[in-house]
Structure 1
Amino acid sequence: MNRLITTLAFAALFALPCAAQTPSQPRESLTKAQFDEMFHKLSNWGRWGKDEQKGTLNLITPAKRQQAAKLVTAGISVSLARDLNTAKEIDNPDPFQDAMALGADGKFNTDTYKVNFHGFGFSHFDALSHTFYDGKLYNGFSDHAITPHGGEVLDATQYRDGIFTRGVLIDIPWLRGLPYLEKTGHISAADLDLWERKTGVHVTSGDAVLIRTGRWALRNAKGPWDISSAAAGLDPSAVAWLHKRDVAFLVSDAAHDALPSAVQGIDYPIHILTIVAMGMSLADQCNLEDVAATALKLHRQTFLLTLAPIRIKGGTGALINPIATF
């Protein structure tokens, strides 16, 4: 009987959003000096060796992969990617292009693809060569190692063995009893603490964390907007929280950063803190609507996350189709 009551209580928790929530904390604002102090505090440079190039993926150990594999109990898989958008819109100024050749050589139909995948339009991952700060890439590599011919370090081939770990969905709109966060929404460490308390799920070393803002639900409800100037996302305190938990990989349905930036004189501070300081590669612009619906249906917030980027020598990232399997 006690086990039944516990199960029903857990199901009720995930069946409905938590409407009565404490409002989000006021948005934090940092000076450049405060940001630099945080950068050095969160730095993983040298943690796994002075020449290593995988960063926080080192936290995904064989034991962590075995733990993740055991999460597959329902056999249900859900894509975390969106169809490639071929329409030019305000949030996708450089759409995907597919040039078709029909009946080439009288035998085959073929495609030539053209895509500028970084930005706000496509589900993609950022390699550790994607951005830099004060002339340095992650682990102290010089930004001059990235040339017009490609990256000499920290490129997409570092991920050739893929990512296979426990995924944890942190659904912030659900936490606040909302269908989505508005464009001005922001997520702090206090929000992540509250989510853990409400769900009873604790983020642990080597996890991949998926943070849903509801960006695509908002777009469906109100139409596209210039997301580069206004977007819900993380405040710096949330990155410190992820560092404390030793998170290995971070997934967002937007660009991770709450925009505009709350750090004086620095654009995209979350990208800098995660990629450059911590060595944490990111997955941007993913579709978290389907996985959120499945998580609610199954009353689960954890699953196996798999991701295998294309092996692009010198590349700063790649298009992706991550899979959550329950």
Structure 2
Amino acid sequence: MNTTARRWTQRPADSTWGDWGADDQLGRLNLITPAKVLEGLREAREGRTFCLSLPLDCPGNRVLNPRRAPPHLQPTVRGELPNMTYPLSRDNASLTDVICDDTVTLALQYSTQWDSLAHMGQWFDADGDGQPEMCFYNGFRAGEDVIGPLDYRHEKAGEPLPATDRAPGAYRLGIENMAATCVQGRAVMVDLKRQFGAVPLRVGYDELREAMEAQHVVVEPGDMLCLRTGLDEALLDVYRTQNGKALEGGFAGLDGRDEALRRWIVDSNVAALISDNVAVEFLPAAPSDDARYPSHPLHDLCLFRLGVHLGELWHLSELADWLHAHGRNRFLLTAPPLRLPRAVGSPVTPVATV
């Protein structure tokens, strides 16, 4: 284990910083080895596939996040005219082609998505000098490796400074690193809705263990863990009706402040955590007794410390019901994000094969 990586002299507790090298940008995706891919392939017994993505314009409004607008789809332009059902005979009477071409403005984490390891960092004293820095997984730095249009590292009187002349984005830890691995391997389903109902439950270690034992689920190193809460079904109802009542009761999520659950995530060597809910974890998080603390404790543990990618707003219910009906909980998962350099998240159309 390398604990003297170039960017840091001390690493956070329960972190994997340096375990796969000073410049590693994959975190626990390193555990999805060729052997794990073969384990996943052996779960593909019937050749049946499930699309695990919601429509990428679901729910169709800003009910989940006011900062993320639905996708805006429009034609490209040919000259001054929209390039949609455009007859090329207009330009050349001899041509028979009719062209359609479009473009989209898309919030990359509006619907079914992956969080990259650059999605959330923390203030942390990586240099060991008593002064915290804005850091991301493996000690990559804000303002150097992850660039914003404003530089908040040296705020004076509450005013951020202009950033460098580099375009904003994740020059390290961007989602393209995840895409290059293909993200294919064995996944395991835990059906929280079946165990507890569609209720606003903070799922700690005791609840997770209860569901896993009842459903005979075993999670091994390098597995990707999927958690079905039923929120995907409610979102599809909102998508169809544009009535948000289906979301009013709330849904389950992991309790990121539960120490026993955090220890299980550390010790399990799970490669990724995936849910049909908004953040995998229950938000707002339970209160903390610490003077300084993360608002998203599971994001802190997974993205910042362990290098565990988070999949959110996946469409898991149809697959979960099929697995239950057939006495199974494992399947082959293929889920690469967009290979979009410098992006901190990505839509994804995951495929489960059973």
TM-score of the pair, normalised by structure 1: 0.80
Contact 1:79 1:324 in 2 (8 A): yes
Q: Deviations over 1:40-72 (max 9, x none)?
A: 432111111121110000111111111111111
Unaligned stretches of 5+ in structure 2?
1-10, 76-82, 89-97, 124-133, 149-166
Amino acid of the residue matched to residue 28 of structure 2?
T
Amino acid of the residue matched to residue 155 of structure 1?
G
Which of 258, 272, 284 pairs up with 2:282?
A: 258
Which residues in structure 2 correspond to 1:51-130 (within 5 Å)? 51-85=23-57, 87-91=60-64, 93=66, 94-100=69-75, 101-104=83-86, 106=88, 107-118=98-109, 121-130=110-119
Matches of 1:113 and 1:141, distance apart in 2:
31
Task: Work out whether 1:235 is the aligned partner of 2:207.
Answer: no
* Cα drift, residue 229 of structure 1: 12
Task: Work out whether 1:166 is the aligned partner of 2:186.
Answer: yes
Shifted more, 147-156 versus 57-66: the winner is: 147-156
Partner-residue secondary structure (3-state), 2:263: helix
Matches of 2:16 and 2:316, distance apart in 1:
28
* Cα drift, residue 316 of structure 1: 0.9
Which of 7, 10, 16 pairs up with 1:44?
A: 16
Contact 2:190 2:215 in 1 (8 A): no
Q: Which has the higher contact order (CA 8 A, sep 6+)?
A: 1
Which residues in structure 2 correspond to 1:219-234 (within 5 Å)? 219=235, 223-224=243-244, 232-234=252-254
Amino acid of the residue matched to residue 115 of structure 1?
L
Q: Deviations over 1:122-147 (max 9, x none)?
A: 00111111110111100111122111
How many equivalent pairs are there? 282
Q: 1:276 to 1:105 in 2, by over 3 A?
A: farther
Matches of 2:114 and 2:84, distance apart in 1:
31
RMSD of aligned Cα (Å): 2.4
Matches of 1:221 and 1:84, distance apart in 2:
15
Which residues in structure 2 correspond to 1:1-326 (within 5 Å)? 40-85=12-57, 87-91=60-64, 93=66, 94-100=69-75, 101-104=83-86, 106=88, 107-118=98-109, 121-134=110-123, 135-144=134-143, 145-148=145-148, 149=167, 150-159=169-178, 160-176=180-196, 178=197, 180=198, 182=199, 184-219=200-235, 223-224=243-244, 232-236=252-256, 237=258, 238-254=261-277, 255-264=279-288, 266-326=294-354
Q: 1:239 to 1:228 in 2, by over 3 A?
A: farther
Matches of 2:139 and 2:49, distance apart in 1:
38
Amino acid of the residue matched to residue 50 of structure 2?
V
Contact 2:254 2:280 in 1 (8 A): yes
Amino acid of the residue matched to residue 98 of structure 1?
L
* Cα drift, residue 323 of structure 1: 0.9
TM-score of the pair, normalised by structure 2: 0.74
Unaligned stretches of 5+ in structure 1?
1-38
The structure with more helix, counted as a fraction of residues: 1
Amino acid of the residue matched to residue 174 of structure 1?
R
Tell me which structure has the larger Cα radius of gyration. 2
